[in-house]
């Protein structure tokens, strides 16, 4: 009995001795939302990004370290639209944390605040890993980030009223800089209009929609199904008839299929940063679009 | 004259020009009106579309829970008769732990329903539909969502958090069948009717502790279905620590202690006698799991190492009834066992795996009037098994597996087993535990 008491005392002292955390603990499902929360929160928030640019956000294991982090989160920021369906529901039920459950103010799905593309007309697993709510990779269009930022800013102000003014003034400053950047990017990306591009997965649809590029095919035969030799052969034939200007892939996908098609069809393959941290230049959201556009311009020149 | 004409022209021009200008404006206006009309139509259409999109058809079924079905079928080729299956040296658990039937058979199908009940609770029902025994409730529990400070309470029927593999549904196992240790110490898989309280620590390194109180409806408690008594017949305490290492390793290790007090837990010896045990059964389990994936991205390659060590001590009274004249004496045994298994995904969709099983029966103590010769199945023997498997998962929802095993569960023969199995899931996207 005495040892049990000692154990409990030791344990509670460990718990009490934990460092006083920042005002708002943000658990970001993907790095882009961590970066956005950082822009809005500054030093008032402590950000944990559950994934990196090197991980496929569809396929994440509900690791113990993620449960430990979500347990103490005040705000969960995810893409939503079923992108995280294989792991977030499990983390939520294991967390013992009511603040970030579905329906609580601490539960934030970014894709809910923008117009979604590619909402499937037919939903069937035979068509691959479909997202019934539409394509979840909304952050590849900077105009979407401009729509999500004010909502997230207000959410942070609601959860942490003491710092509400800080979130709002940082948010205002971010949006001003962001709108200016969008104008600059649109000018830079003008030569990309109409340029046909082969993607790996349908994760650049919003970017394509924004820049006016054209999707000329995808390396995956169906969403979520890895490239197959027969599908690649078809793509090579298709590229002979109507060549694309560039093949893109994300840091989390293997470059093999893209390089194979690139060498056979003589089309440059480019790794895009896809999200914050995907390349050295994509250090934050601004760098993400600077680098994305620069890499594409370099390839299609 | 000339001047007059010029004048007339000028007047005409002055009069006519505005007239011409008006005509032009009217043309433009007409075009504009037409454009506005077209725009109005488009706006109305867009509004209608938006209204339609925002008001999807609703009905009583709009709040349906997430439904998923697991189907599996198997072809088994067994060199030994599965009806004579036993694990020598160990008390046969209540219920079937053998390798199944020979030839083609439908495995157990699963029907799972889950949804949030309200803002406080989540409910899950997993029914198992066995081709022989009909429908059973594998799990059916509610779980709290709104307790603070890392606490969760689960109540109902659920797979006990004893060890690691016990909590995982058979369709998500890396091998077709359970480790030998899970068979002899937990009767394949222990599902308890009870209540579980779990606490997750607010630390960056994962730490949880929990306690389960149960009815003791399954082995190692007894009799089958649980004792006829108020209160609690089975208790389990557990703790886990876990975290990340470097840029690709995730680990978790746990300890659990399951204590039950079986009463008249019967087992049949292959010689035909019916024996029954009443006393205390205490089981310690140490488990560890390590998963590696480059940059925690398991899509292309990953490796999983899993192992558990079990140690059980039972003491109490054993009744031996061969001739109708029951004899009771005291009985004590200390037994242990472990398994270690690895599964390696070397390319997308493809995995190979190996598992080693070993049990240590120890030597049971019997007091007079009992003697060891009365219990041939409990004669000391250390079973072992080697298993290899290869599986192919063309999508997240389907898997085909080929498995070979050399099973020395029986002291006198080696069972060469071949299993070819499919496991598929339909419906809602499942989320698998670490």
Each residue's pLDDT tens digit, B297-355: 999 999 999 999 999 999 999 998 877 778 899 999 999 999 999 999 999 899 999 99
Please count the structural domains in chain A.
Answer: 2
Interface of B with A in 4-63 (CB under 8 A): none
Residue A15 lies in a domain: no
Q: Give the C-alpha separation, B381 to B367, whole Å.
A: 20
CA distance B298 to chain A (A): 7
Residue A11 lies in a domain: no
ipTM score for this prediction? 0.86
The SS3 call for residue B255 is strand
Residue A133, phi-psi category: left (phi > 0), alpha (psi -120 to 50), beta (remainder) = alpha
Chain B contact present for A182, CB below 8 A: no
Query: Contact B200/A52, CB-based, under 8 Å?
Result: no
Among A160, A184, A208, the domain-final residue is A184
CB-nearest to B145 from A72, A82, A101 is A101
Q: Give the C-alpha separation, B200 to B238, whole Å.
A: 12
pLDDT (tens place) for every residue of chain B, 434 residues total? 455 555 555 555 555 555 555 667 888 899 999 999 999 998 988 888 777 666 665 677 778 899 999 999 999 999 999 999 999 999 999 888 999 999 999 988 999 999 999 999 999 999 999 888 789 999 999 999 989 899 999 999 999 999 999 999 999 999 999 999 999 999 999 999 999 999 999 999 999 999 999 999 999 998 988 888 898 999 999 999 999 999 999 999 999 999 999 999 999 887 778 899 999 999 999 999 999 999 999 999 999 999 999 999 999 999 988 777 788 999 999 999 999 999 999 998 999 999 999 999 999 999 988 888 889 899 999 999 999 999 999 988 999 999 999 999 999 999 999 999 999 999 888 777 88
The pLDDT value recorded for residue B371 is: 86
Chain A contact present for B244, CB below 8 A: yes
- Please state the pTM of the whole predicted model: 0.87
Q: Considering only CB atoms, which chain B residues are within 8 Å of A67?
A: 200, 206
Q: Considering only CB atoms, which chain B residues are within 8 Å of A89?
A: 431
Asked whether residue A196 falls in the same domain as residue A242, the answer is: yes
The SS3 call for residue B46 is helix
Query: Contact B202/A18, CB-based, under 8 Å?
Result: yes
CB-nearest to A69 from B204, B207, B431 is B204
What CATH number should be reported for the domain holding residue A164? 3.40.50.1980
Question: Which residue range(s) make up the domain with A239?
Answer: 190-300
Q: Does domain B65-427 have CATH number 1.10.3720.10?
A: no
- Evaluate the omega torsion of the peptide bond into residue B43 and state whether it is cis, within 30 degrees of 0: no
The SS3 call for residue B216 is coil
**Cβ-count burial of A208 within 10 angstroms (0-12 exposed, 13-18 middle, 19+ buried)?**
buried
pLDDT (tens place) for every residue of chain A, 301 residues total? 454 455 454 444 444 444 445 589 999 999 999 999 999 999 999 999 999 999 999 999 999 999 999 999 999 999 999 999 999 999 999 999 999 999 899 999 999 999 999 988 888 888 888 888 899 999 999 999 999 999 999 999 999 999 999 999 999 999 999 999 999 999 999 999 999 999 999 999 999 999 999 999 999 999 888 899 999 999 999 999 999 999 999 999 999 999 999 999 999 999 999 999 999 999 999 999 999 999 999 998 7
Report the 10 Å Cβ neighbour count for A286. Answer: 20
Residue B38, phi-psi category: left (phi > 0), alpha (psi -120 to 50), beta (remainder) = alpha
Domain boundaries, chain B: 65-427
Query: Contact B150/A89, CB-based, under 8 Å?
Result: no
Q: Give the number of beta-carbon pairs within 8 Å between A and B.
A: 131
Report the 10 Å Cβ neighbour count for A235. Answer: 24
Helices (H), A137-284: 142-159, 164-188, 205-211, 229-241, 256-265
Among A184, A210, A238, the domain-final residue is A184
Interface of B with A in 160-189 (CB under 8 A): none
The pLDDT value recorded for residue A1 is: 45
Asked whether residue A170 falls in the same domain as residue A235, the answer is: no
Interface of A with B in 24-83 (CB under 8 A): 51-52, 54-56, 59-65, 67-69, 71-72, 82
CA distances for B50 relative to A148, B38, B57, B147, angstroms = 20, 18, 14, 39
The pLDDT value recorded for residue A125 is: 85
Q: Which helix (H) or strand (E) holds A297?
A: helix A285-300
The pLDDT value recorded for residue B388 is: 98
The SS3 call for residue B431 is coil
Asked whether residue A142 falls in the same domain as residue A64, the answer is: yes
pLDDT tens digits for A259-292?
999 999 999 999 999 999 999 999 999 999 999 9
Asked whether residue A73 falls in the same domain as residue A164, the answer is: yes
Among A151, A184, A217, the domain-final residue is A184
Q: Considering only CB atoms, which chain B residues are within 8 Å of A274?
A: none
- Outline where DSSP puts E strands in chain A: 24-28, 45-49, 75-78, 107-109, 196-199, 214-218, 246-249, 269-271
């Amino acid at each position: 009995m005495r040892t049990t008491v000692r154990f409990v005392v030791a344990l509670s002292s460990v718990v009490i001795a934990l460092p006083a955390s920042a005002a708002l603990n943000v658990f970001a499902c993907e790095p882009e939302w961590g970066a956005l929360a950082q822009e809005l929160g500054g030093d008032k928030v402590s950000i944990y990004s559950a994934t990196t640019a090197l991980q496929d956000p569809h396929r994440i294991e509900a690791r113990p370290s993620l449960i430990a982090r979500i347990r103490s989160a005040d705000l969960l920021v995810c893409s939503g639209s079923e992108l995280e369906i294989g792991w977030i529901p499990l983390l939520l039920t294991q967390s013992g944390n009511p603040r970030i459950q579905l329906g609580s103010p601490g539960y934030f799905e970014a894709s809910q605040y923008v117009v979604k593309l590619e909402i499937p007309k037919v939903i069937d697993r035979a068509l691959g890993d479909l997202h019934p709510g539409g394509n979840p990779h909304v952050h590849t269009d900077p105009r979407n980030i401009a729509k999500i930022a004010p909502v997230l800013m207000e959410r942070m102000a609601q959860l942490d009223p003491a710092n509400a003014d800080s979130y709002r003034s940082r948010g205002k400053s971010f949006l001003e800089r962001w709108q200016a950047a969008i104008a600059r990017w649109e000018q830079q990306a003008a030569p990309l209009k109409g340029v046909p591009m082969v993607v790996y997965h349908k994760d650049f649809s919003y970017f394509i929609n924004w820049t006016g590029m054209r999707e000329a095919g995808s390396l995956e035969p169906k969403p979520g199904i890895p490239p197959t030799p027969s599908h690649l052969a078809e793509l090579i034939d298709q590229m002979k008839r109507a060549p694309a200007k560039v093949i893109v892939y994300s840091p989390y996908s293997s470059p093999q299929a893209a390089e194979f098609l690139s060498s056979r069809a003589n089309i440059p393959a480019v790794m895009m940063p896809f999200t914050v941290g995907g390349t050295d230049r994509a250090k934050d959201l601004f760098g993400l679009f600077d680098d994305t556009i620069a890499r594409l311009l370099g390839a299609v020149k | 004259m000339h001047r007059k004409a010029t004048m007339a022209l000028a007047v005409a021009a002055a009069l006519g020009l505005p007239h011409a200008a008006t005509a032009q404006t009217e043309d433009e206006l007409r075009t504009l009106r037409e454009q506005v009309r077209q725009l109005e139509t488009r706006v109305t259409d867009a509004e209608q579309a938006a209204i339609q999109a925002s008001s999807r058809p609703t009905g009583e079924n709009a709040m349906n829970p997430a439904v998923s079905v697991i189907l599996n079928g198997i072809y088994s080729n067994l060199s030994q008769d599965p009806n004579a299956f036993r694990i020598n040296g160990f008390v046969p658990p209540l219920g079937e732990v053998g390798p199944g039937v020979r030839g083609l058979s439908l495995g157990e199908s699963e029907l799972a329903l889950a949804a949030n009940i309200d803002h406080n609770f989540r409910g899950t029902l997993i029914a198992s539909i066995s081709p022989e025994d009909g429908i059973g409730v594998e799990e059916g529990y509610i779980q709290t969502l709104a307790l603070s400070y890392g606490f969760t309470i689960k109540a109902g029927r659920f797979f006990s958090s004893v060890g690691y593999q016990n909590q995982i549904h058979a369709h998500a196992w890396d091998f077709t069948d359970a480790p030998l240790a899970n068979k002899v110490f937990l009767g394949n898989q222990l599902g308890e009717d009870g209540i579980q309280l779990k606490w997750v620590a607010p630390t960056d390194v994962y730490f949880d502790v929990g306690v389960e109180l149960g009815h003791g409806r399954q082995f190692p408690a007894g009799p089958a279905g649980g004792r006829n008594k108020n209160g609690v017949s089975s208790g389990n305490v557990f703790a886990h620590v876990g975290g990340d290492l470097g840029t690709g390793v995730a680990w978790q290790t746990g300890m659990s202690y399951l204590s039950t007090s079986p009463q008249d837990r019967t087992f049949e010896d292959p010689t035909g006698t019916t024996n029954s045990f009443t006393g205390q059964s205490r089981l310690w389990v140490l488990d560890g799991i390590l998963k590696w994936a480059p940059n925690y991205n398991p899509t292309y390659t990953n490796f999983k190492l899993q192992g558990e060590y079990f140690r059980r001590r039972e003491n109490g009274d054993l009744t031996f009834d061969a001739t109708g004249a029951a004899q009771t004496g005291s009985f004590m045994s200390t037994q242990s066992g472990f398994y270690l298994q690895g599964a390696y995904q070397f390319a997308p969709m493809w995995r190979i795996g190996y598992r080693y099983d070993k049990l240590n029966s120890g030597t049971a103590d019997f007091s007079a009037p009992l003697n060891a010769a009365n219990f041939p199945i409990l004669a000391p023997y250390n079973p072992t098994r080697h298993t290899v498997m290869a599986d192919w998962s063309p999508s997240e929802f389907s898997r085909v597996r080929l498995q070979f095993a050399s099973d020395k569960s029986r002291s006198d023969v080696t069972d060469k087993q071949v299993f070819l199995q499919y496991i598929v899931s339909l419906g809602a996207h499942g989320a698998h535990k670490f």
